[in-house]
C-alpha cells in the first residue's frame, strides 16, 4: 500500500533499473529514504532490499595522511522475519559474514578515492528485506557505489560487484543460495567500467583459464551496472563533486627530499638486507636528513618530509625492480624465499606444524572434536552448523610491534576466511570429526595467510586427517608503469612489496587446480594479459611450495595420536532414537556415565546417526554394546548372555537383551526332569546363557532354552505321553473338561 504524499514532502524520487537478462530486475532508487545523508540509495531485487548511505566529513582531521574510510554492512533479523538470539534480543556485534561483506566493499572503494582526499567517509549498507534465496552480499558493492554516485563526495568510480558461479558448465551472475550449492566456481568480482579491482572466491580445483573466464563474464555484467550509475549520477545533478584541500605541499621541500635521498634509498633497495636491517637503514636516512632542521622547523616540515620520503622509498623500490630486476631482499622476480618445515612439533594438540617461508612463520595446530563441538551459525540468512573451523591470529609481536593485542579484527577474519576456503573442500565429505585449525603468525613479512594454508595442510596431515590432496598457497605482486606497458610480476611478495606495489594476488590450490583466490588491484590499467601471466607464474610457485610440503610430509599420519578422540558411527532405525535417549535422556546419560564415552544422536534422512567418541577403544566398545543391545532385533537361533529377572514355579524370566525378557520354561533348563527351579541352584540376578528358540507370531513373546546348549545325556529318551482316551460321543455336545481348571498361559514372552 502506498499513499502518494510527494507534494507535501517535496520528494524527488529518481529510479533506474538493471536487467540481469534472466527475468530478474535490479532497481536503484534515490530521493525517498535517508535524505540527510550525503548520498542515499535503495537497491531492490525481488524481495531483497538494501539501503546504502554515505556521509563524509567536510574537512580532514589535521595530520591525517591516509584515507579514513569505514564500510559497515549490517543485516537486520527482521529482514527475514526472525528474532535475534541472545538475552537482549537485538542485533549485536557484526557477524563474520557481515565483516567479510564489509571487506569486499571496502577493498574496491578504497583505492578509488583521490590520493589527497583525507576526510572521514562512512559507508553504511543495511539489509532491510530478504527472501532467503537471493544473496544480498552480491548487491552491497553496487549499493555503496550508487550512494557515492548520488553524492558530491570525490570518488573515482562508479564500481560494482557481482558474484559469478559456474553450475553444470554454465556461468550465472548473482546466483541464488540453491544454485550456489552446486557450483564448482564461486567468486566475487569488483570492478570499474575499465578495470578489475578485486576478486575473491573458492573453486573446486579449476584451471587458471577457467578462473580467468569467470572474471571476464563478471566484468561484462559490471559494465552495465556502471553505465546505469552514470545515468543516475547525471539525473541527480551530481557530476560535479565538492572541492577540497586536505594537503598543503612544499614543492621545494619535495624536490630537496628527492634529490638528497633518492640515491641513498635506491642503494638500500638493491642491498638485499633483511626486513629489520632494511627498515632501520631507511629510517636512518630520513633522520639524518631531518637533523639539518631545527625543532621549530620540524613542527611544520616533519610530516611533509615523512610523506615525501615515503614517495622516494616507493620510487626507489619500484625502479630497482623494473630497471634491474632486483627486489628488496635480493631475489629475482620469480624466486621463492627459503622454506623450512617442522611437523609433530607439539605433544598436546592432535596435530601441529611450523611453516616458515623467509621471514613469515605460522605455527598451526589442529584439534579433533565430536558433533558437540560444531560451530552453530545463526546469521540472518545463514543457519546451520560448521564442522570445519579455521582461525587466524596475528599478534603484534609478529612484526616486532610493542602494542597490546585487542582481540579479533577484520584482518584476522578475512585472512582466516581465505585459508578456510582454500582447505575446506579437501576435507573428506564423510569425515566423522569436527576439525578446528588455528594459525598463530609468529613472524610476518608478507603473505601470512598463504603460510597459514601451507601450515594448515601440514598440521591436518600430522593429525591424521586424510585430506583428499595437499594444498599450497602463494601471494603474487605487481610493479607496473605507463598503464601496464612496463611491468614486473613478483612471486612470494614481501610486506613492503605489497604496501608499495600495485597488486596483491593470492592463489591457493592442489596439484590439479585452484581452490581459492583473493586479489586486490591498486592501479588502473591491469590487462587480462597481465592477469594470465600472473596466474601462470603463481602456478609455478605453488608447485614449488607443494613439493616442499610433500617432501617434508609425504603422507598423512596413518593413525590418530594416542590422545586424540576416537569416533565410531552407528546407523539405527528412526524408531529407536527415543529408546536410546530414554525419558529425559536417562538412558543415554547412563550409558555415557558407565562407559566414559560421549554419545550424540541426530536424525538424518529418516535414520538415526549415532556418534560415539572417547580417547580409548574400551569406552567406545562398551557404549556401542549398550546401544546395540537397545536397538538390536532378537533373532531366533541366536545365543544370548542374559540375566534372570524373576523366578516362577514354572520357570524363570530372563532379560536376554536390554528391555527384552523371555521365559525359560522349567522343561528347558536341563535335560533331566525338574520338579522345581530351585533344584538347579539358579537365583534371581544370576547370569545365564540361553538360546532364543521361538517367537510367538501373535503375541511376540519369546521362548528361551538352556538345555539345547548343553550336551544331550547318552541314552536320553523323550518321556512318552500317556495314551489319549477315546473321545466320547455327546451327540454333538461339547466335551466336559472334567472339572479341570483352565490352564494359564505361561508361555514365554514379555511378561
Could you tell me if 191 and 222 are in contact, meaning their C-beta atoms sit under 8 angstroms apart? yes
Give the C-alpha separation, 59 to 119, whole Å.
5
Give the C-alpha separation, 135 to 141, whole Å.
12
H or E segment and range at residue 287: helix 275-290
Classify 489 as helix, strand or coil. strand
HSE (side-chain half, CA atoms, 13 Å) at 59: 5
Could you tell me if 572 and 610 are in contact, meaning their C-beta atoms sit under 8 angstroms apart? yes
Give the C-alpha separation, 64 to 70, whole Å.
15
DSSP letter for 80, please: G
Angle, vertex CA 483, rays to CA 481 and CA 485, nearest 5: 70
Among the listed residues 494, 434, 453, the one whose alpha carbon sits nearest the alpha carbon of residue 353: 453
Angle, vertex CA 223, rays to CA 217 and CA 227, nearest 5: 160
Feature table: binding site for Mg(2+) = 498, 504
Beta strands in 700-745, from DSSP E residues, in sequence order: 702-705
Could you tell me if 187 and 515 are in contact, meaning their C-beta atoms sit under 8 angstroms apart? no
Could you tell me if 616 and 597 are in contact, meaning their C-beta atoms sit under 8 angstroms apart? no
Give the C-alpha separation, 265 to 182, whole Å.
52
Could you tell me if 334 and 342 are in contact, meaning their C-beta atoms sit under 8 angstroms apart? no
Find residue 354's DSSP bridge partners: 342, 363
Pairing mode, strands 375-378 and 687-695: unpaired
Helices (H), 325-409: none
Sort 730 into a burial class: Cβ within 10 Å, 0-12 / 13-18 / 19+. Answer: exposed
Place of cell 523323550: 718
Q: Return the C-alpha cell found at 191.
A: 570492478
Place of cell 544422536: 601
Find residue 662's DSSP bridge partners: 654
Contacts of 523 (CB under 8 A, 6+ apart): 478, 480, 484, 502, 503
Helices (H), 403-507: 410-424, 448-462, 495-500
DSSP 558-619: SS--TTSPEEEEEEEEGGGHHHHH-GGGHHHHHHHHHH--EEEEEEETTEEEEEEEESSHHH
Give the C-alpha separation, 738 to 246, whole Å.
121
Ramachandran bin of 318, using left for φ above 0, alpha for ψ from -120 to 50, beta for the remaining angles: alpha
Place of cell 479341570: 740
Place of cell 605541499: 249
Feature table: binding site = 498, 504
Q: Return the C-alpha cell found at 721.
A: 505321553
Max Cα–Cα distance, the chain, nearest Å? 142
Q: Return the C-alpha cell found at 283.
A: 629510517
Pairing mode, strands 69-75 and 121-129: parallel
Contacts of 276 (CB under 8 A, 6+ apart): 400
Residue 584 burial (CB count, 10 A): 8
Amino acid at each position: 500500500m502506498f499513499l502518494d504524499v510527494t507534494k507535501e514532502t517535496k520528494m524527488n524520487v529518481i529510479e533506474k533499473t538493471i536487467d540481469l537478462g534472466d527475468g530478474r530486475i535490479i532497481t536503484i532508487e534515490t530521493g525517498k529514504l535517508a535524505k540527510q545523508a550525503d548520498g542515499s540509495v535503495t537497491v531492490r531485487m525481488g524481495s531483497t532490499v538494501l539501503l546504502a548511505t554515505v556521509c563524509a566529513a567536510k574537512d580532514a582531521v589535521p595530520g591525517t595522511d591516509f584515507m579514513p574510510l569505514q564500510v559497515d554492512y549490517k543485516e537486520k533479523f527482521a529482514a527475514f522475519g526472525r528474532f535475534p538470539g541472545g538475552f537482549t534480543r537485538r542485533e549485536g556485534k557484526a557477524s563474520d559474514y557481515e565483516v567479510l561483506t564489509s571487506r569486499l566493499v571496502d577493498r574496491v572503494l578504497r583505492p578509488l578515492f583521490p590520493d589527497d582526499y583525507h576526510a572521514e567517509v562512512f559507508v553504511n549498507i543495511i539489509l532491510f528485506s530478504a527472501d532467503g534465496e537471493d544473496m544480498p552480499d552480491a548487491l552491497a558493492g553496487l549499493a555503496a557505489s550508487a550512494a557515492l554516485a548520488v553524492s558530491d563526495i570525490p570518488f573515482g568510480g562508479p564500481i560494482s560487484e557481482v558474484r559469478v558461479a559456474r553450475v553444470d558448465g554454465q556461468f550465472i551472475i548473482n546466483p541464488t543460495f540453491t544454485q550456489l550449492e552446486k557450483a564448482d566456481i564461486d567468486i566475487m568480482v569488483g570492478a570499474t567500467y575499465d578495470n578489475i579491482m578485486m576478486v575473491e572466491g573458492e573453486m573446486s580445483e579449476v584451471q587458471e583459464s577457467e578462473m580467468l573466464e569467470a572474471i571476464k563474464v563478471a566484468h561484462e555484467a559490471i559494465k552495465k551496472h556502471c553505465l546505469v550509475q552514470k545515468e543516475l549520477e547525471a539525473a541527480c545533478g551530481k557530476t560535479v563533486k565538492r572541492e577540497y584541500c586536505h594537503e598543503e605541499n612544499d614543492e621545494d621541500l619535495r624536490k630537496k627530499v628527492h634529490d638528497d635521498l633518492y640515491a641513498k634509498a635506491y642503494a638500500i633497495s638493491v642491498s638485499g638486507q633483511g626486513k629489520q636491517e632494511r627498515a632501520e637503514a631507511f629510517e636512518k636516512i630520513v633522520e639524518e636528513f631531518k637533523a639539518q632542521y631545527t625543532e621549530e622547523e620540524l613542527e611544520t616540515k616533519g610530516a611533509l618530509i615523512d610523506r615525501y620520503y615515503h614517495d622516494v622509498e616507493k620510487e626507489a623500490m619500484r625502479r630497482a625492480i623494473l630497471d634491474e630486476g632486483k627486489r628488496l631482499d635480493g631475489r629475482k622476480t620469480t624466486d621463492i624465499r627459503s622454506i623450512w618445515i617442522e611437523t609433530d612439533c607439539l605433544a598436546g594438540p592432535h596435530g601441529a606444524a611450523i611453516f616458515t617461508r623467509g621471514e613469515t612463520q605460522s605455527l598451526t595446530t589442529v584439534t579433533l572434536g565430536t558433533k558437540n563441538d560444531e560451530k552453530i551459525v545463526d546469521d540472518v540468512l545463514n543457519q546451520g552448523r560448521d564442522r570445519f573451523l579455521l582461525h587466524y591470529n596475528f599478534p603484534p609481536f609478529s612484526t616486532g610491534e610493542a602494542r597490546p593485542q585487542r582481540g579479533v579484527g577484520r584482518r584476522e577474519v578475512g585472512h582466516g576466511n581465505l585459508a578456510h576456503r582454500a582447505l575446506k573442500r579437501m576435507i573428506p565429505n564423510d569425515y566423522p570429526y569436527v576439525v578446528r585449525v588455528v594459525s598463530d603468525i609468529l613472524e610476518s613479512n608478507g603473505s601470512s595467510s598463504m603460510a597459514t594454508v601451507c601450515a594448515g595442510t601440514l598440521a591436518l596431515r600430522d593429525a591424521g586427517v586424510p585430506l583428499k590432496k595437499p594444498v599450497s598457497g602463494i601471494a603474487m605482486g605487481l610493479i607496473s608503469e605507463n598503464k601496464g606497458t612496463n611491468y614486473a610480476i613478483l612471486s612470494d611478495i614481501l610486506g613492503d612489496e605489497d604496501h608499495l606495489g600495485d597488486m596483491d594476488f593470492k592463489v591457493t590450490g592442489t596439484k590439479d587446480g585452484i581452490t581459492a583466490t583473493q586479489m586486490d588491484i591498486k592501479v588502473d590499467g591491469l590487462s587480462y594479459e597481465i592477469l594470465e601471466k600472473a596466474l601462470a607464474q603463481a602456478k609455478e610457485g605453488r608447485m614449488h611450495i607443494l613439493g616442499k610440503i610433500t617432501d617434508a610430509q609425504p603422507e598423512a599420519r596413518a593413525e590418530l595420536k594416542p590422545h586424540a578422540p576416537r569416533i565410531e558411527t552407528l546407523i539405527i532405525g528412526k524408531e529407536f532414537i527415543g529408546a536410546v535417549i530414554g525419558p529425559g535422556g536417562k538412558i543415554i546419560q547412563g550409558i555415557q556415565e558407565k562407559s566414559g564415552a560421549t554419545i550424540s544422536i541426530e536424525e538424518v534422512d529418516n535414520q538415526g546417526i549415532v556418534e560415539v567418541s572417547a580417547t580409548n577403544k574400551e569406552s567406545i566398545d562398551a557404549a556401542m554394546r549398550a546401544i546395540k543391545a537397545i536397538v538390536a532385533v532378537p533373532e531366533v537361533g541366536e545365543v544370548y548372555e542374559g540375566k534372570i529377572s524373576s523366578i516362577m514355579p514354572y520357570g524363570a524370566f530372563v532379560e536376554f537383551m536390554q528391555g527384552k525378557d523371555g521365559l525359560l520354561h522349567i522343561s528347558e533348563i536341563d535335560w533331566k526332569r525338574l520338579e522345581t527351579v530351585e533344584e538347579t541352584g539358579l537365583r534371581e540376578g544370576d547370569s545365564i546363557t540361553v538360546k532364543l528358540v521361538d517367537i510367538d507370531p501373535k503375541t511376540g513373546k519369546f521362548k528361551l532354552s538352556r538345555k539345547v546348549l548343553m550336551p544331550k545325556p547318552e541314552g536320553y529318551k523323550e518321556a512318552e505321553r500317556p495314551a489319549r482316551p477315546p473321545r466320547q460321543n455327546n451327540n454333538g455336545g461339547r466335551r466336559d473338561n472334567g472339572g479341570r481348571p483352565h490352564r494359564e498361559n505361561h508361555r514365554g514372552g514379555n511378561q
